Structure 1
Amino acid sequence: MSKHRRRVKQTRSLEDRMAEQATKLKEQADQLPAGEEREALLKRARIAETGAHLSDWLTSPGLRPPQ
Protein backbone atom coordinates (compact mmCIF):
# COMPACT_ATOMS: atom_id res chain seq x y z
CA MET A 1 0.00 0.00 0.00
CA SER A 2 1.48 3.32 -1.04
CA LYS A 3 0.66 6.74 0.34
CA HIS A 4 -0.35 9.50 -2.04
CA ARG A 5 0.10 13.18 -1.48
CA ARG A 6 -3.07 15.16 -1.42
CA ARG A 7 -2.90 17.60 -4.33
CA VAL A 8 -4.86 20.85 -4.28
CA LYS A 9 -5.21 23.15 -7.25
CA GLN A 10 -5.22 26.72 -5.97
CA THR A 11 -7.73 29.02 -7.61
CA ARG A 12 -6.40 32.25 -6.09
CA SER A 13 -2.88 33.60 -5.96
CA LEU A 14 -0.73 33.26 -2.87
CA GLU A 15 -0.70 37.04 -2.48
CA ASP A 16 -4.52 37.17 -2.43
CA ARG A 17 -4.77 34.37 0.11
CA MET A 18 -2.17 35.96 2.40
CA ALA A 19 -3.82 39.38 2.20
CA GLU A 20 -7.16 37.81 3.12
CA GLN A 21 -5.53 35.97 6.02
CA ALA A 22 -4.02 39.25 7.28
CA THR A 23 -7.44 40.92 7.17
CA LYS A 24 -9.05 38.07 9.11
CA LEU A 25 -6.32 38.13 11.74
CA LYS A 26 -6.73 41.89 12.23
CA GLU A 27 -10.49 41.48 12.63
CA GLN A 28 -9.94 38.77 15.24
CA ALA A 29 -7.43 40.96 17.08
CA ASP A 30 -9.91 43.86 17.16
CA GLN A 31 -12.34 41.65 19.10
CA LEU A 32 -9.80 40.94 21.85
CA PRO A 33 -8.74 43.13 24.75
CA ALA A 34 -5.16 44.35 24.90
CA GLY A 35 -2.82 41.55 25.83
CA GLU A 36 -0.48 38.83 24.62
CA GLU A 37 -3.04 37.01 22.47
CA ARG A 38 -4.01 40.18 20.63
CA GLU A 39 -0.36 41.09 20.04
CA ALA A 40 0.32 37.59 18.69
CA LEU A 41 -2.55 37.92 16.19
CA LEU A 42 -1.35 41.35 15.09
CA LYS A 43 2.17 39.99 14.62
CA ARG A 44 0.84 37.15 12.45
CA ALA A 45 -1.17 39.72 10.44
CA ARG A 46 1.97 41.80 9.80
CA ILE A 47 3.84 38.70 8.66
CA ALA A 48 1.00 37.78 6.28
CA GLU A 49 0.93 41.33 4.86
CA THR A 50 4.68 41.19 4.29
CA GLY A 51 4.30 37.89 2.49
CA ALA A 52 1.50 39.28 0.35
CA HIS A 53 3.76 42.13 -0.84
CA LEU A 54 6.87 40.00 -1.28
CA SER A 55 6.41 39.25 -4.98
CA ASP A 56 5.88 42.97 -5.68
CA TRP A 57 9.18 43.74 -3.98
CA LEU A 58 10.98 40.97 -5.84
CA THR A 59 9.78 42.20 -9.22
CA SER A 60 10.44 45.88 -8.52
CA PRO A 61 12.82 47.68 -10.92
CA GLY A 62 15.24 48.43 -8.08
CA LEU A 63 16.16 44.76 -7.72
CA ARG A 64 16.94 44.02 -11.37
CA PRO A 65 20.55 43.30 -12.31
CA PRO A 66 22.32 45.85 -14.51
CA GLN A 67 22.10 45.21 -18.27
Structure 2
Amino acid sequence: MFKRRRFKQQLTLQDRLAAWSKAVQEQAAALPAGRERDALIQKARQVEIASHLDDWAKSPGLQPPK
Protein backbone atom coordinates (compact mmCIF):
# COMPACT_ATOMS: atom_id res chain seq x y z
CA MET A 1 0.00 0.00 0.00
CA PHE A 2 1.24 3.47 -0.85
CA LYS A 3 1.78 6.10 1.80
CA ARG A 4 0.32 9.52 1.21
CA ARG A 5 2.77 12.34 1.00
CA ARG A 6 1.88 14.96 3.58
CA PHE A 7 2.35 18.59 2.72
CA LYS A 8 2.09 21.30 5.37
CA GLN A 9 0.50 24.41 3.88
CA GLN A 10 2.38 27.61 4.63
CA LEU A 11 -0.63 29.85 4.00
CA THR A 12 -4.18 29.49 5.21
CA LEU A 13 -6.95 28.48 2.83
CA GLN A 14 -8.34 32.02 2.98
CA ASP A 15 -4.98 33.50 1.95
CA ARG A 16 -4.52 31.01 -0.88
CA LEU A 17 -8.04 31.61 -2.21
CA ALA A 18 -7.61 35.40 -2.03
CA ALA A 19 -4.29 35.27 -3.89
CA TRP A 20 -5.69 32.96 -6.55
CA SER A 21 -8.78 35.13 -7.02
CA LYS A 22 -6.62 38.24 -7.41
CA ALA A 23 -4.38 36.53 -9.95
CA VAL A 24 -7.36 35.33 -11.99
CA GLN A 25 -8.94 38.79 -11.93
CA GLU A 26 -5.67 40.34 -13.14
CA GLN A 27 -5.51 37.81 -15.98
CA ALA A 28 -9.11 38.64 -16.94
CA ALA A 29 -8.39 42.37 -16.90
CA ALA A 30 -5.57 41.85 -19.41
CA LEU A 31 -7.83 40.06 -21.89
CA PRO A 32 -10.24 41.64 -24.36
CA ALA A 33 -13.95 41.07 -23.85
CA GLY A 34 -14.94 37.56 -24.85
CA ARG A 35 -15.55 34.00 -23.71
CA GLU A 36 -12.13 33.46 -22.16
CA ARG A 37 -12.38 36.64 -20.09
CA ASP A 38 -15.92 35.78 -18.97
CA ALA A 39 -14.75 32.30 -17.94
CA LEU A 40 -11.92 33.78 -15.85
CA ILE A 41 -14.29 36.25 -14.18
CA GLN A 42 -16.68 33.42 -13.35
CA LYS A 43 -13.79 31.37 -11.93
CA ALA A 44 -12.81 34.33 -9.71
CA ARG A 45 -16.40 34.57 -8.45
CA GLN A 46 -16.41 30.86 -7.66
CA VAL A 47 -13.21 31.27 -5.64
CA GLU A 48 -14.76 34.16 -3.70
CA ILE A 49 -17.85 32.04 -3.00
CA ALA A 50 -15.60 29.21 -1.77
CA SER A 51 -13.94 31.69 0.58
CA HIS A 52 -17.32 32.81 1.93
CA LEU A 53 -18.41 29.19 2.40
CA ASP A 54 -15.22 28.49 4.35
CA ASP A 55 -15.97 31.50 6.58
CA TRP A 56 -19.52 30.23 7.07
CA ALA A 57 -18.34 26.72 7.93
CA LYS A 58 -15.94 28.10 10.53
CA SER A 59 -18.49 30.47 12.07
CA PRO A 60 -19.18 30.06 15.79
CA GLY A 61 -22.84 29.37 15.12
CA LEU A 62 -21.95 26.05 13.46
CA GLN A 63 -19.76 24.68 16.24
CA PRO A 64 -20.83 21.37 17.78
CA PRO A 65 -22.34 21.55 21.27
CA LYS A 66 -19.96 21.10 24.18
TM-score, normalisation: structure 2: 0.77
1:57 aligns to what?
A: 56
1:1-67 alignment runs, 5 A limit: 3-60=2-59
Structure 2: how far apart are the matches of 1:62 and 1:13? Answer: 21
Question: Structure 1 residues 59, 6: closer, same or farther in 2, change over 3 A?
Answer: closer
1:12-61 Cα shifts (integer Å, max 9, x gaps)? 11111011100000000000000000011011100111111212223446
Residues in 1 aligned to 2:4 and 2:58: alpha-carbon distance in whole angstroms: 32
TM-score normalised by structure 1 residue count: 0.76
The structure whose Rg is larger is 1
What percent identity do the matched residue pairs reach?
Answer: 49
Q: Secondary structure at the match of 2:54?
A: helix
